[in-house]
Amino acid sequence: MKRRSFVQASLALGTLGGTLSMVGCASTGTLPAKAKVVVIGGGYGGATAAKYVRMLSNYQIDVVLVEPNDSFISCPISNLVIGGSKTMGDITTPYDNLKGKHGVIHARDRVTSIDAAKKTVTLGGGATIGYDKLIVSPGIDMLWNSIEGLQAASASGQILQAWKAGPETLALRRQLEAMPDGGVYAITVPLAPYRCPPGPYERASQVASYFKKAKPKSKVLILDANPDVTSKGPLFKKFWADNYKDILEFRPNHKAIAVDAKSKAVKFETESDVKADVLNVLPDMSAGSIAMTSDLANVNKRWCNVNYLTFESTAAKDVHVIGDSVLAAPLMPKSGHMANSHGKVVAAAVVAQLSGMDVNPHPLLTNTCYSFVNDKLVVHVASVHQYVAAEKTFKTVPGSGGVSAAPNELEGIYAWNWAQNIWADTLL
Amino acid sequence: MRLKSPFVAMLLSGIAATAASAATPKDTINLHQRALAAMCANCHGTEGRTTDGSAIPSLAGMPREYMVAQMKAFREGTRPATVMHQLSKGLTEEQVQSVSTYFSNIKR
């Protein structure tokens, strides 16, 4: 074959690539024995990585996405389902387009083990898939042992977390609906780092907003292991003081150590026990379970260290870890937007490496995180993170980023439009 | 649908191998530019195309000089914004030029 440009070859493959993607149509039970890229986890990180490996390779590199669910349910905006102004349908998007439009092979399964030496993953259903590059985006897992009694109380449905959007999101909403007026909802916040720094405060605000309208004699308690609100603190605290003064109470330095599901009580390291009608107890968190069991979580056996230029694990060659499981660089939040950004950097790096190109030495990450303080008003935090070669990490660009001046309705509109656009960017 | 012929598989891997070795410096520049522009897509849509009726503007097909001027206005505070005055300060002049060029060449 004579000299042929990358783009021309890619175009030639357009039709064939589409055919190839159907070979492993998971709904027929047929999966390829090998794919150039396998992605574990279809959240903001993994789904974005799968789509962008396809796009950035001009649909030349085949991708298998291993994700047990048929639809993506968004954590961002899920607090509004708990507050009652949005529904599960509003935050749910099927994975169909990743296959139909982008030719990603969707394996409806979980990865049970990774063999980094043989470069294979084994699925719960028994299939083994080889890879050239593995992208691991498993989100977070609960460290149940950090709070005595919590795992059993969670399994029985008595004390929920609802920190992975899904059935628990709705179950928590139902508990709040069933709670009599005059009751207490308490959320405990673990020590940072945890998934979605402002999430607990947004959720408490949503519940307070609901109580103010529907159950005005009820109370919201935030029992925080941290010494202060960990994200957007001044904005949240001012809004609470101005709007939820007699409803919401914030108590810092409350590190939960045990729960009793029967008496609906939480015990703390130093402070007195607290009882509540609806308990929402968040334990410490770690990298997702497949990262833990495959020894990718090599920082305190909790988070995954990576080469930030490519997100390749420092524990295993050709295995890249992204999203909440990654040991965060300074001021890098564990957020959906950030995971989507990771997904693009890793996609570009993997496409470059598989195509004989240089990896971008100056990757950039953005983050915009909106929090609803009631059903309409929103505050944000935004940041831009650049790779600093001398320190081999991402750092925020000096002078960039910031927060809202005050809660406002315009950002409420932008926040909802942000959600629509990032869901489309991740999945459609 | 199953892959019918080993010949097709051979053909595919052959083309893929050729493509990999044929990547030119321009391909690399294009990949990096496209990945940088993808950082705008979280809010402004894949390839700068937002969802229908979005309050956030599409960037696809936006004239290059206009976008460069808007980014400058955001940075200098002459155009009011909710987040763009903060995010625009995170890009170098070269990066602004690069993403503006990229989106101006995308069909609306």
Q: Say whether pLDDT at A411 is over 70.
A: yes
Closest CA of chain B from A195, distance in Å: 19
Closest CA of chain B from A416, distance in Å: 9
Distance CA B9, CA A391 (A): 44
Mean pLDDT of chain B: 86
pLDDT value for A2: 39
Percentage of chain A exceeding pLDDT 90 = 93
pLDDT value for B75: 97
Locate all alpha helices (DSSP H) within A57-149, ordered by sequence.
Answer: 78-83, 96-100
What is the 3 state secondary structure string of A276-343?
CCEEEECCCEEECHHHHHCCCCCECCCEECEECCCCEECCCCCEEECHHHECCCCCCCCCHHHHHHHH
Beta-carbon separation of A345 and B35 below 8 A = yes
Residues present in chain B in total: 108
Distance CA A307, CA A296 (A): 13
**Interface pTM, i.e. ipTM:** 0.89
Q: Which band of pLDDT confidence, cut at 50, 70 and 90, is reported for residue A389?
A: very high
Which of A332, A335, A403, A425 would you mutate first to test chain B, the one with the most B CBs within 10 A? A425
pLDDT value for B22: 75
Q: Say whether pLDDT at A121 is over 80.
A: yes
Q: Say whether pLDDT at B86 is over 50.
A: yes
Chain B CB contacts of A19 under 8 Å are 1, 3, 8
CA B76 to chain centroid: 24
Q: Say whether pLDDT at A72 is over 60.
A: yes
CA B92 to chain centroid: 16
Q: β-strand A256-260 against A265-268: which pairing, if any?
A: antiparallel
| Cβ neighbour number for residue A295 with a 10 Å cutoff | 14
Residues 6+ apart with CB under 8 A from A314: A298, A305, A306, A307
| Per-residue b or e along A10-37, where b marks 16 or more CB atoms closer than 10 Å to that residue's CB | beebeebbeebbebbbbeeeebbeebbb
Beta-carbon separation of A420 and B27 below 8 A = no
pTM, 2 dp: 0.91
pLDDT value for B25: 92
Closest CA of chain A from B59, distance in Å: 13
Q: Say whether pLDDT at A319 is over 70.
A: yes
- For residue range A250-301, list pLDDT tens digits in order: 999 999 999 999 999 999 999 999 999 999 999 999 999 999 999 999 999 9
Full DSSP string of A134-159? EEE---EEE-GGGSBTHHHHHHTTSS
Percentage of chain A exceeding pLDDT 70 = 93
B17 vs A321: which has the higher pLDDT: A321
Q: Which band of pLDDT confidence, cut at 50, 70 and 90, is reported for residue B6?
A: very low
pLDDT value for A186: 98
> What dihedral do alpha carbons A54, A422, B75, A196 form, nearest 10°?
-110
**Closest C-alpha to A311, from A372, A240, A393, A366:** A393
Q: Say whether pLDDT at B12 is over 90.
A: no
pLDDT value for A276: 98
Q: Which band of pLDDT confidence, cut at 50, 70 and 90, is reported for residue B21?
A: low
pLDDT value for A15: 36
Give the closest of B12, B23, B35 to A348, CB-based.
Answer: B35
Mean pLDDT of the B9-38 span: 73
Residues of B with CB under 8 A from a CB of A: 1-3, 8, 11-12, 15-16, 18-24, 27-28, 31-32, 34-36, 38-46, 50-51, 54-56, 82-83, 86-91, 95
Mean pLDDT of chain A: 93
Q: Can you tell me whether residue A354 is helix, strand or coil?
A: helix
CA B42 to chain centroid: 11
DSSP 8-state assignment for residue A33: S
**Closest C-alpha to A14, from B39, B12, B98, B55:** B12
- For residue range A143-170, list pLDDT tens digits in order: 999 999 999 999 999 999 999 999 999 9
pLDDT value for B23: 87
- For residue range B25-35, list pLDDT tens digits in order: 999 999 999 99
**Closest C-alpha to A291, from A317, A324, A318:** A324
pLDDT value for B108: 86
pLDDT value for A29: 58
